[in-house]
C-alpha cells in the first residue's frame, strides 16, 4: 500500500451544495439512493470528477437525469461531467449484516444466530440494529462520495424500513408509515454522517440554551438498558452548560441524540446531532459499573459533545490535521473533568495515562508527529500522540499566553473559522494574530516526534539560586535530529519548613541549554520543578531521596507532591531489580505519613498509594541502560507491595473504617475518592489476612466498585473460585459486566499462568472475537500484564499473534490496534526480541493481511 503525504494535498475538484440520501433498509441488501448537487471548485486546478467508493454494488448512475458511464479506479470511480453545476444521482446496494469491520453501515450484534446455536448464554438473543461508523473513511462504504473532510454539505436523509426507531443527523423533518426524514442544515463532512435504526427506547430530557432555545435530548438504548441511562443524561446536560459558560459555545439544533451500540470499534463518535457510543462509554449504574467507569463515561460524553464546535462546526481540512480537533477536544474534556471533579486528581490521572500510553508510543517504533507527514491507513493514527500529546500542546499554549488571552484567541478561532475545514497552521495563526506572539518555535511540538528529556542542575551562591536546564530529544523513526522545543517549565521554590519562597513561575526555555536565576534568597531553597506537569517531557534530575521525601510531605503543588512519592517508589523498585541500595525505609515512612494525613483528599492519597506500573518501570530501566526483565520487575513489585503492607499494618484498621461510605452510592469526587483509597488499603490488608477483609467486603458489597475490588483481592489471595462462579451466574446476561469478569481474571493471573488463563477464557461460551469490547477485555488485559505477556518461552507472543491473524479478516482496525502490544519489543533481551520478531514476521506473511495491520506491524518490525 502506498503512503499518502501531507505535501500532496490539493483542494477538491468539485464542491457539494446539497446531499439527499434515501436508505431502503435490508439486512443483506440495503439500497442507498443518492442525489448530490456538485459544482466545480473555483480554487481547484483539477477537473477530475472522482468519487470514493469501497465494496459498493452500483445499480445505476445519472448526471442531470441522464444515465452516465463510470470508470472503476483505485478507491472509487471517475466519470466525465459538465464543467458547470450538475446533479449526480446513484443507487448502490450494500450488505450491513456481513460488515464485520464495523465501518460504514453495519449491524450490531453480529452473531446472534451463532450465539444461540452455541449456547452463548451471555449474549441474549436480541434483534440486531443498524448503525454506522464513518470516521475516518467509512462513508465510502455507504455510497459514492468525495469522502474527504474538506467537502462539507447539508444533508437530508430519508430512511425507509420497518424498524421502530430510525434516526439520522439533524432535526426530524417528516415521517409516515415505514419512512422518516431528517435534515441537517449545518454543512458537514461525510465522516460525521450517522444512521441508526432498530428496536430502541429513549431516556428523554431537555436543555435550555443560554439564548433560551429549547433542545430535546434523547439517549437511545436497547429495551432493558433504560436503568443505565440516568448518569449519562446528567453528564450531557453538565457538558452543554459548561461549554456555554467556559467557551461561550451554544448548541445549534433542535435535538441532540446519543445511541448506545454494543459492537463499536472506538469509544464513541461525534456525528452531528446524533452521537453514537460504545455501550461501555455511556451505559452505567451503581450495580454494574465502577467509579472508574462513571468517570470515563462523564469524560467521553463531554468529549463528544464538545466536538460539536471543535470538530464539527470547525472541522479538519485533511486527516493530517486530526489533532486540530482531537487534541483540542481532549484538552477541553480534561478541563471539564478538572472543573466538575478535583483539579489535582484529574491532572495526576491525565499524566498517568499520558505516560502509560503516549510516552510508551513516543519511545518506540510507532513514534510519530502530532501532525504526521504521511500515513498509509488513517485509522492507525487515532493514537495517544494525536489525542493526548495534542492536548498537552494546547495546555502548554494556554500556559504560555495566559487564561484571558487563551479565551480571546478561542473566540477569534470560532469567529474566523466557523463552517470551515481547517489546518493546525490556521489554529496557530489565530493565536499569533490574537496574542501577537511568534509561534514558529512552538510549532515544533507538532512537527517533531519523541519525548524531550529535561536535565536539571542547580547552583547556589550567597543568595543567588540558579537552575540550568538541558533538553535533548532522542531520534524517532525518520527524524534523527531535533531542534530545541519551547518548553514552559513551571517552577516554585520552597523554604525549609515547606513554605513557598517563590510562588509558581513559568520559565520559558527556548535553547538547548539555558540557565534561570533567582536572586535575594536568604537560604538555599528546595525546587519544585515542572509543576502541574507543565510540559510533556521526562525530567531526568538526580536528586537525593531526602529531597523527594520532603516534597512528598510539603510541596504546595499537588501534582509535584504526588510525583515526588511516585519517583521515590520507582527508585525503590529500580534498586530492587538491580540489587542496589534503595531508599525503601524513607519511602515507607513518607508513605505512612501521607496516608495518615486526613487533610489530604482521599482520592489524592489513593493515587499516591498506587504503584508505578511494571511497563513504566521497564522503560525507566531501559533508559538507564539496563535490559528490563519482566519477571524481575514483577518480583520487585511484589516485594515492595508486601513491604508496604507490613509497614502500614497498624494504620489499616482505622483508615479502612474512615473510608467506609454510608450514604447511598453516588459517583461523585468525594465518594469515589473514599472508595478508591479504601480499595487501595484492602489490597494491602489482603496480603496480611489472606483475603478475610476482601471476603467480608465481597459478602456485603452493594455496588460494582466494591464487589469488583473485593473480587480482585480474592483473586490475588487465591480464593476467588466460588466468587467468580457466583459473579458469572449473576451477570451472564450483562455483556459489560462480563467484560470485567474476563479482564479481571487475566489481570490478576500469576505471570506463568496468564497465557493459559487467556486460552481457557477464549474457550468460554461467552467469548466472541466479533465484539470489540470482549476481544479487548481479554487481549487488552493480557497485553497490559507485562510479566504474563513476556514469558520467556514466547507463549504469550504466539498466543496473541494467533488471535490477531484470526481477527484480521473480520476486523482490521481492532487487529491493528492490538498489535501495539508488541511495540516495546526492542527494550528486551535478544531471546525475547527473536521470539517477537518471528511472530511479527508470521503475521506479515499472512495471506490477504489488511492494510491496517500490515502498516502497523511493518512499522513495529522496522
Ligand atoms: N470518535 C472519536 C473521538 O471522539 C473519533 N473522532 O475521538
Ligand atoms: Zn474526539
Is residue 391 situated within a structural domain?
Answer: yes
User: Helix (H, G, I), strand (E, B), or coil: what is residue 850?
Assistant: coil
Q: Give the mutation target among 133, 134, 135 for probing the ligand 1 site: most ligand atoms within 8 A of CB.
A: 135
Sign of CA dihedral 685, 689, 694, 696: negative
Q: Domain end: 417, 437, 457, which one?
A: 437
DSSP reduced 3-state for 273: coil
CATH assignment of the domain containing 797:
1.25.50.10
By alpha-carbon position, which residue is closest to atom 3 of ligand 1? 269
Residue 582 has pLDDT above 60, yes or no: yes
Atom of ligand 1 nearest to the CA of 382: 5
Q: HSE, CB side, 13 Å, CA atoms: give it for residue 466.
A: 10
Domain containing 405 — which CATH number? Answer: 1.10.390.10
SS3 258: strand
Distance of alpha carbon 269 from alpha carbon 60, whole angstroms: 31
pLDDT-based confidence at residue 118 (cuts at 50, 70, 90): very low
Q: In whole angstroms, what is the distance from residue 430 CA to residue 436 CA?
A: 10
pLDDT recorded at residue 125: 66
Nearest to 529 by CA among 588, 465, 574, 592: 465
Q: What confidence tens digit (pLDDT) does each residue in 314-323 have? A: 999 999 999 9
Cβ–ligand 1 distance for 135 under 6 Å, the answer yes
User: Does 119 map to a domain?
Assistant: no
pLDDT band at residue 112 under the 50/70/90 scheme: low
Q: Is residue 101 part of a domain?
A: no
CB of 787 closer than 6 angstroms to any ligand 1 atom: no
Residue 861 has pLDDT above 90, yes or no: yes
pLDDT at residue 113, as a whole number: 45
Strands 538-539 and 104-108: unpaired
Taking the centre of ligand 1 as the mean of its atom positions, its distance from the CA of residue 330, in whole angstroms, is 10
- In this predicted structure, the answer to whether residue 439 has a pLDDT above a threshold of 50 is yes
Tell me which residue of 638, 608, 615 sits closest to 355, measured CA to CA: 615
pLDDT at 1: 78
Q: What is the mean pLDDT of residues 600-614?
A: 98
Catalytic (active-site) positions:
304
Beta strand 255-261 with 274-278 is parallel
Round to whole Å and give the CA distance between 804 and 818. Answer: 8
Residues 76 and 52 sit within 8 Å (Cβ to Cβ): yes
Q: Angle formed by the axes of helices 602-609 and 558-578, to 10°?
A: 20
Instruction: Round to whole Å and give the CA distance between 433 and 415.
Output: 13
Are 549 and 587 in contact by the 8 Å Cβ rule? The answer is yes
What range does the domain containing 367 cover? Answer: 315-437
pLDDT at 24 over 90: yes
Burial class of residue 283 in the structure, from the number of CB atoms within 10 Å of its CB (0-12 exposed, 13-18 middle, 19+ buried): buried
Query: Mutation test of ligand 1: which of 268, 274, 316, 381 has the most ligand atoms closer than 8 Å to its C-beta?
Result: 268
Task: Enumerate residues 6+ apart whose C-beta is below 8 A from 345.
Answer: 601, 603, 604, 607, 669, 673
Task: Tell me whether residue 800 is in a domain.
Answer: yes
Percentage of the chain beyond pLDDT 70 is: 98
Average confidence score pLDDT of the chain: 97
Domain boundary among 406, 437, 468: 437
Q: What is the pLDDT of residue 227?
A: 98
Question: Is the CB of residue 266 below 6 angstroms from any atom belonging to ligand 1?
Answer: yes
Side by side, the strands of the sheet bearing 214-221 are 201-208, 214-221, 255-261, 274-278, 268-269
Q: Residue 269 Cα, ligand 1 centroid: separation in angstroms?
A: 5
Is 517 in contact with 466 (CB distance < 8 Å)?
A: yes
pLDDT at residue 116 greater than cutoff 60: no
Look-up of cell digits 505516560: 355
Contacts with 544 (C-beta within 8 Å, 6 or more apart), sequence order: none
CB of 302 closer than 6 angstroms to any ligand 1 atom:
no
Q: Which atom of ligand 1 is nearest to the CA of 269?
A: 1
Measured CA to CA, the distance from residue 710 to residue 268 in angstroms comes to 30
Ligand 1 site-directed mutation target among 137, 382, 388, most atoms within 8 Å of CB: 382
**Per-residue model confidence (pLDDT) at position 570:** 97
Ligand 1: atom nearest CA of 326 is 7
> Is residue 750 classed exposed, middle or buried when 0-12, 13-18 and 19+ CB atoms within 10 A define those classes?
middle
pLDDT at 110: 85
| C-beta 270 within 6 A of ligand 1 | yes
Half-sphere exposure of 742 (CA within 13 A, CB side): 30
Q: Which whole-number Å values give the CA distances from 403 to 246, 442, 730, in the listed order?
A: 11, 18, 50
CA dist 853 and 803 (Å) reads 13
**Tens of pLDDT, residues 491-515:** 999 999 999 999 999 999 999 999 9
Residue 133 CB neighbour total at 10 angstroms: 26
Confidence of residue 115 (pLDDT cuts 50, 70, 90): very low
Q: Which residues of 387-416 are buried (b: 16+ CB within 10 A; e: fewer)?
A: bbbbbbbbbbbbbbbeeebbbbbbebbbee
CA of 136 to the centre of ligand 2 (A): 11
Question: With a 6 A CB cut-off, is 304 part of the ligand 1 pocket?
Answer: yes
| Nearest protein Cα to ligand 1, atom 6 | 269
Number of H helices, E strands in the chain: 30, 31
- pLDDT tens across 707-754, in order? 999 999 999 999 999 999 999 999 999 999 999 999 999 999 999 999
Residue 268 CA to ligand 1 center (angstroms) comes to 6
Q: Is 27 helix (H, G, I), strand (E, B) or coil?
A: coil
All three cell numbers of 465, joined, read 539560586
pLDDT-based confidence at 541, cuts 50/70/90? confident
The angle subtended at Cα 471 by Cα 468 and Cα 476, nearest 5°, is 170
Whether residue 823 has its Cβ less than 6 Å from ligand 1 = no
Residues 6+ apart with CB under 8 A from 724: 711, 715, 741, 745
Pick from 266, 312, 772 the residue to mutate for probing ligand 1's pocket: most ligand atoms within 8 Å of its CB. 266
Per-residue pLDDT reduced to its tens digit, 759-812: 999 999 999 999 999 999 999 999 999 999 999 999 999 999 999 999 999 999
pLDDT at residue 216 is higher than 60: yes
Q: Is 221 in the pocket of ligand 1 (CB under 6 A)?
A: no
Q: What share of the chain is helix, strand, coil (3-state, %, to 5)?
A: 45, 20, 35
Check whether 124 has a pLDDT greater than 90.
no
Cα–ligand 2 centroid distance for 702 (angstroms): 34
Q: Does residue 582 lie in a domain region?
A: no
Q: Is residue 523 part of a domain?
A: no
**Is residue 523 packed enough to be buried (19+ CB in 10 Å), middle (13-18) or exposed (0-12)?**
exposed
Whether 811 is covered by a domain: the verdict is: yes
Tell me how far apart the alpha carbons of residues 568 and 632 are, in angstroms, rounded to a whole number.
19
Atom of ligand 1 nearest to the CA of 325: 6
- Cα(331) to centroid of ligand 2, in Å? 10
Atom 7 in ligand 1: residue holding the nearest Cα: 326
Kindly report the three-state secondary structure assignment for every residue of 430-473: HHHHHHCCCCCCCCHHHHCCCCCEEEEEEEEECCEEEEEEEEEC
Residue nearest to atom 1 of ligand 1 (CA): 269
Structural domain includes residue 417:
yes
Peptide bond into 206 cis (omega under 30): no
User: Is 333 close to ligand 1, i.e. is its CB under 6 Å away?
Assistant: no
Strands 421-422 and 315-316 come out as parallel
Residues 6+ apart with CB under 8 A from 697: 682, 706, 709, 710, 713
Supply the pLDDT for residue 643: 98
Tell the residue number behind the cell numbers 466494591, with chain if given: 706
Per-residue pLDDT at 577 exceeds 50: yes
- Segment 195-211 mean pLDDT: 98
Closest CA to 263 of 94, 133, 114: 133
Query: Sign of torsion, CA 687 691 696 697?
Result: positive
Ligand 2 centroid from CA 359, angstroms: 20
Q: What is the pLDDT of residue 94?
A: 98
Residue at a domain's end among 420, 437, 454: 437
Residue 815 to residue 856: CA distance in whole angstroms: 9
Q: Looking at ligand 1, which atom is closest to the CA of residue 304? A: 4
Give 12's Cβ-side CA count (13 Å radius): 22
CA dihedral (452, 453, 454, 457) in degrees, to 10, reads -160
Cα angle: 808, vertex 814, 816; to 5 degrees: 70
Chain mean position to CA 762: 25
As for how many domains the chain has, the answer is 2
Instruction: Identify the burial level of 501 via C-beta atoms within 10 angstroms of its C-beta, where 0-12 means exposed, 13-18 middle and 19 or more buried.
Output: middle
Question: How far apart are the CA of 843 and the centre of ligand 1, in A?
Answer: 28
pTM for this entry: 0.98
Amino acid at each position: 500500500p502506498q503512503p499518502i503525504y501531507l505535501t500532496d494535498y490539493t483542494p477538491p475538484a468539485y464542491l457539494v451544495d446539497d446531499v439527499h440520501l434515501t436508505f431502503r433498509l435490508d439486512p443483506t441488501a440495503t439500497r442507498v439512493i443518492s442525489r448530490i448537487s456538485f459544482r466545480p471548485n473555483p480554487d481547484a486546478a483539477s477537473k477530475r470528477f472522482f468519487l470514493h467508493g469501497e465494496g459498493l454494488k452500483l445499480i445505476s448512475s445519472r448526471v442531470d437525469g441522464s444515465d452516465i458511464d463510470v470508470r472503476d479506479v483505485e478507491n472509487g470511480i471517475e466519470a466525465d461531467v459538465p464543467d458547470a453545476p450538475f446533479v449526480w444521482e446513484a443507487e448502490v446496494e450494500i450488505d450491513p449484516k456481513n460488515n464485520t469491520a464495523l465501518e460504514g453501515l453495519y449491524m450490531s450484534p453480529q452473531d446472534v444466530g451463532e450465539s444461540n446455536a452455541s449456547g452463548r448464554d451471555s449474549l441474549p438473543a436480541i434483534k440486531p440494529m443498524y448503525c454506522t461508523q464513518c470516521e475516518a473513511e467509512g462513508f465510502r462504504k455507504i455510497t459514492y462520495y468525495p469522502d474527504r473532510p474538506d467537502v462539507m454539505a447539508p444533508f437530508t436523509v430519508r430512511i425507509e424500513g420497518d424498524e421502530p426507531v430510525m434516526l439520522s443527523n439533524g432535526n426530524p423533518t417528516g415521517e409516515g408509515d415505514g419512512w422518516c426524514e431528517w435534515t441537517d442544515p449545518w454543512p458537514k463532512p461525510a465522516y460525521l454522517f450517522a444512521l441508526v435504526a432498530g428496536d430502541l427506547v429513549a431516556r428523554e430530557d431537555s436543555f435550555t440554551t443560554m439564548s433560551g432555545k429549547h433542545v430535546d435530548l434523547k439517549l437511545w438504548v436497547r429495551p432493558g438498558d433504560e436503568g443505565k441511562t440516568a448518569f449519562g443524561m446528567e453528564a450531557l446536560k453538565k457538558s452543554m452548560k459548561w461549554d456555554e459558560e467556559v467557551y461561550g459555545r451554544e448548541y445549534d439544533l433542535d435535538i441532540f441524540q446519543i445511541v448506545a451500540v454494543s459492537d463499536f470499534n472506538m469509544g464513541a463518535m461525534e456525528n452531528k446531532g446524533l452521537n453514537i457510543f460504545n455501550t461501555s462509554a455511556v451505559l452505567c449504574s451503581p450495580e454494574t459499573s465502577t467509579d472508574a467507569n462513571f468517570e470515563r463515561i462523564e469524560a467521553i460524553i463531554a468529549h463528544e459533545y464538545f466536538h460539536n464546535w471543535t470538530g464539527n462546526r470547525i472541522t479538519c481540512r485533511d486527516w493530517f490535521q486530526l489533532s486540530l480537533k482531537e487534541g483540542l477536544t481532549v484538552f477541553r474534556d480534561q478541563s471539564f473533568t478538572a472543573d466538575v471533579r478535583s483539579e489535582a486528581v484529574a491532572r495526576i490521572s491525565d499524566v498517568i495515562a499520558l505516560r502509560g500510553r503516549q510516552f510508551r508510543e513516543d519511545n518506540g517504533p510507532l513514534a510519530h508527529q502530532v501532525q504526521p507527514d504521511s500515513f498509509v491507513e488513517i485509522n492507525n493514527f487515532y493514537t495517544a500522540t494525536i489525542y493526548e500529546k495534542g492536548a498537552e500542546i494546547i495546555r502548554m499554549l494556554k500556559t504560555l499566553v495566559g487564561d484571558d488571552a487563551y479565551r480571546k484567541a478561542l473566540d477569534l478561532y470560532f469567529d474566523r473559522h466557523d463552517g470551515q475545514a481547517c489546518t493546525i497552521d490556521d489554529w496557530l495563526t489565530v493565536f499569533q494574530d490574537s496574542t501577537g506572539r511568534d509561534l514558529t518555535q512552538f510549532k515544533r511540538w507538532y512537527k517533531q516526534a519523541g519525548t524531550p528529556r529535561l536535565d536539571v542542575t542547580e547552583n547556589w551562591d550567597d543568595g543567588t539560586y540558579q537552575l540550568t536546564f538541558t533538553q535533548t530529544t532522542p531520534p524517532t523513526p525518520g527524524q534523527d535530529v531535533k531542534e530545541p522545543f519551547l518548553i514552559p517549565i513551571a517552577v516554585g521554590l520552597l523554604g525549609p519548613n515547606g513554605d513557598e519562597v517563590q510562588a509558581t513561575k513559568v520559565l520559558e526555555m527556548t535553547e538547548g541549554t539555558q540557565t534561570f536565576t533567582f536572586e535575594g534568597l536568604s537560604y538555599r531553597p528546595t525546587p519544585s520543578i515542572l509543576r502541574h506537569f507543565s510540559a510533556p517531557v521526562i525530567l531526568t534530575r538526580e536528586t537525593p531521596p531526602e529531597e523527594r521525601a520532603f516534597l512528598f510531605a510539603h510541596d504546595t503543588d499537588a501534582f509535584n507532591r504526588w510525583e515526588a512519592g511516585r519517583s521515590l517508589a520507582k527508585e525503590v523498585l529500580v534498586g530492587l531489580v538491580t540489587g542496589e541500595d534503595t531508599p525503601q525505609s524513607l519511602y515507607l515512612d513518607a508513605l505512612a505519613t501521607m496516608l495518615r494525613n486526613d487533610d489530604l483528599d482521599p482520592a489524592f492519597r489513593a493515587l499516591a498509594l498506587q504503584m508505578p506500573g511494571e511497563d513504566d518501570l521497564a522503560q525507566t530501566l531501559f533508559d538507564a541502560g539496563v535490559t528490563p526483565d519482566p519477571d524481575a520487575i514483577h518480583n520487585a513489585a511484589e516485594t515492595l507491595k508486601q513491604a508496604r503492607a507490613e509497614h502500614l499494618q497498624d494504620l489499616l484498621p482505622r483508615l479502612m473504617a474512615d473510608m467506609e461510605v454510608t450514604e447511598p452510592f453516588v459517583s461523585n469526587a468525594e465518594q469515589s475518592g473514599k472508595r478508591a483509597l479504601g480499595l487501595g488499603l484492602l489490597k494491602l490488608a489482603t496480603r496480611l489476612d489472606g483475603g478475610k477483609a476482601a471476603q467480608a467486603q465481597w459478602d456485603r458489597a452493594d455496588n460494582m466498585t466494591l464487589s469488583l475490588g473485593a473480587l480482585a483481592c480474592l483473586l490475588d489471595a487465591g480464593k476467588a473460585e466460588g466468587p467468580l462462579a457466583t459473579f458469572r451466574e449473576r451477570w451472564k446476561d450483562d455483556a459489560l459486566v462480563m467484560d470485567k469478569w474476563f479482564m479481571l481474571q487475566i489481570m490478576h493471573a500469576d505471570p506463568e499462568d496468564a497465557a493459559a488463563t487467556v486460552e481457557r477464557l477464549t474457550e468460554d461460551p461467552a467469548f466472541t472475537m466479533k465484539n470489540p469490547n470482549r476481544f479487548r477485555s481479554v487481549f487488552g488485559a493480557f497485553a497490559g500484564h507485562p510479566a504474563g505477556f513476556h514469558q520467556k518461552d514466547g507463549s504469550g507472543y504466539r498466543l496473541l499473534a494467533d488471535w490477531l491473524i484470526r481477527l484480521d479478516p473480520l476486523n482490521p482496525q481492532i487487529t491493528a490496534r492490538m498489535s501495539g502490544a508488541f511495540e516495546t519489543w526492542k527494550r528486551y533481551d535478544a531471546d525475547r526480541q527473536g521470539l517477537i520478531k518471528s511472530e511479527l514476521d508470521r503475521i506479515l506473511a499472512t495471506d490477504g493481511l489488511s492494510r491496517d495491520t500490515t502498516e502497523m506491524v511493518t512499522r513495529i518490525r522496522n
